[in-house]
């Protein structure tokens, strides 16, 4: 099997990033907040487990779940302010 060159890999990753960003354009505010919370939580969970020597994928998954929940709660809080 032929190895993928570094330049080709960078091009593929760039295309994936651009496609994923364009997918967020039709999302509601609630969906954006939940997804942002999940992304931030995933990053924090991964970094935290790297620093403590734990399971990185487990930390990222738990962080993503906690972040998504926090994003949802924040969205509900913002909606209740407008009452």
The answer to whether the beta carbons of residues 35 and 24 sit under 8 Å apart is: yes
> Is the pTM higher than 0.85?
no
Rounded-to-5 percentages of helix, strand, coil across the chain: 80, 0, 20
What does the block give as tokens for 44?
Answer: 């924090």
DSSP calls for 32-65? HHHHHHHHHHHHHHHHHHHHHT--HHHHHHHHHH
Note the pLDDT of residue 27.
Answer: 84
Question: What are the tens digits of pLDDT across the range 4-47?
Answer: 677 777 787 777 767 766 666 788 889 989 988 998 998 899 99
Give the domain ranges of the chain. 26-81
**Rounded distance, CA 54 to CA 45, Å?**
10
């Amino acid at each position: 099997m032929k190895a993928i060159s570094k330049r080709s890999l960078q091009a593929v990753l760039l295309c994936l990033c651009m496609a994923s960003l364009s997918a967020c354009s039709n999302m509601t505010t609630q969906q954006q907040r939940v997804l942002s919370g999940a992304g931030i939580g995933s990053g924090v969970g991964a970094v935290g487990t790297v620093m403590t020597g734990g399971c990185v994928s487990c930390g990222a998954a738990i962080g993503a779940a906690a972040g998504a929940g926090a994003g949802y709660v924040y969205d509900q809080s913002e909606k209740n302010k407008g009452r």
